[in-house]
Structure 1
């Protein structure tokens, strides 16, 4: 698919710079590369290293710490390009954590921690790809996490279990969310949660961390893990921000991250659609290309229309996110994520259908896109939780959860 089919929104000069740079980089990582990474469930180290060499892993990190100093508008462009290049959801997800885990550090960490970690993150020498939040008994109810961090002298001792934590095997540090005050002892359930920067090598050296990889079918190059912390001692200086306010610190960059996820889904959707268009033009049945049949052409065109619409919502939201109040920002970001995930899934489903039996053949990639597109409707929150937010916070309906 010609790239101008995706160039459907007006970009400023800085966004265009990002787009062209990422397109140049991803040109060296073709479908064969991603097909092999998926088959072997192998992290795309070569791509990530190349992005680091060009400075793009520090896109959100201020220039004073060696970063690029850009914002959500530029991240959206980068993530869409990584997905549309053939990386699907795995491409942008391979660096997603490293990009957005910098945000709470930039906003809340001490100058000492910033100086220790941010320059290395910007250069790619330090990987902070993992956010340890989700737990088996909490799921989407993050305020019900049971991992504890108890103060002992000038240290915190962390004990608990996490699940579905990504990229632990390619991280030097992790941000760990833990309760410093039990849920039953706080006035509001969002209180009493704290954020810690954990040196993973130190955790292993203490014999205080065990991990186990979770086998999965979607986004296979980006591994997910179950983790057990058993008496991990973390220096007090590694507390990020204020004790007990970690949940609010985490929420602070939530809308920006939602838009990044939306852009990643869009990239995946466009990649799937490109495969469908190419196959529909090339595949000849009954002496005519199958794309000449309206039963093939119309669904593909409809998927394109849905992707265009979702992209407009996503980029428009990114343009004004800092100029609207928190509720409206949440409405725009969540709507973008909802529409982009559905549009990506529809595009991937139609791509499989257009390929017929070859839709499940690895060599055509669309079965990989379909597996990953299903995942976009689950992470970082489900479509149903998006509707909960819109129903309660925007429409004023009673809280349903």
Structure 2
């Protein structure tokens, strides 16, 4: 019987949703008995410490798109290990297709995480219609992307499937922070709209004095980081907002914080939102992308309009002033996430996508 080898290619190990999903997927394949390899094209990041046992990690040290030395490292890995299944995230698909031109022996899945799914008309990515002929199956993170690619790749509707993100945590019980803490787990880039949260904090300080916001995420966009720092400084909020940046202790922050909060202007299905739920945190998020599938009603948390700092501040105040109720919503959300977005849901959907060409078990 041929050994089952799974290759997954991701750009970095920063703390973004794509990167967290790559680790989660690698862990599931390893748990299910596959030889699971995680290939990181460019660099490591805050998630390196969270790679589970059993997952084999390779760094290509890619310096640019046309880095032939890094490309040769990938080609050599494919030749040496002989993957049955290659799973490429986002822009990693370009090199995955190029490798397939050289050796067509593996089954190729593209995982499209395009976060700006509301702007597909602006960013249509037409080149993917050319590359699609070498892609066996296409996995997308929301229904808008699914509908988009089924329209663009007419005749291949059965090759395209929306498979939701799923969380994977190893939480240990810890005491909460002494001061009431909102955790914003999001990389620093405009899509995550930390400025919206900062404005909400400014509104909230006129009503509540004792709380803090921790912003944990990779330093992705330097210009955006400068805007975030300027906004905090101009409102005099240094004592309320801490910019933690990248961290290897995400699970500790999840365990010790009181509330999970996202203030994004655009999303797919954010992994951070699912991690908040799995950690049983009360959740406040903006109603963008597929967030409403996780928070469909007030029974499970608070969903507010994007770019509406007043609404965001109002929900934060409600949580602060009635935390016992918020805890109950967090517990209901935890059950919902475990049941509807757990790893077995992902595994079953993946099998549906690639069957009958490949059997996962």
- TM-score, length of structure 2 as denominator length: 0.27
- TM-score, length of structure 1 as denominator length: 0.26
Q: Which has the higher helix share?
A: 1
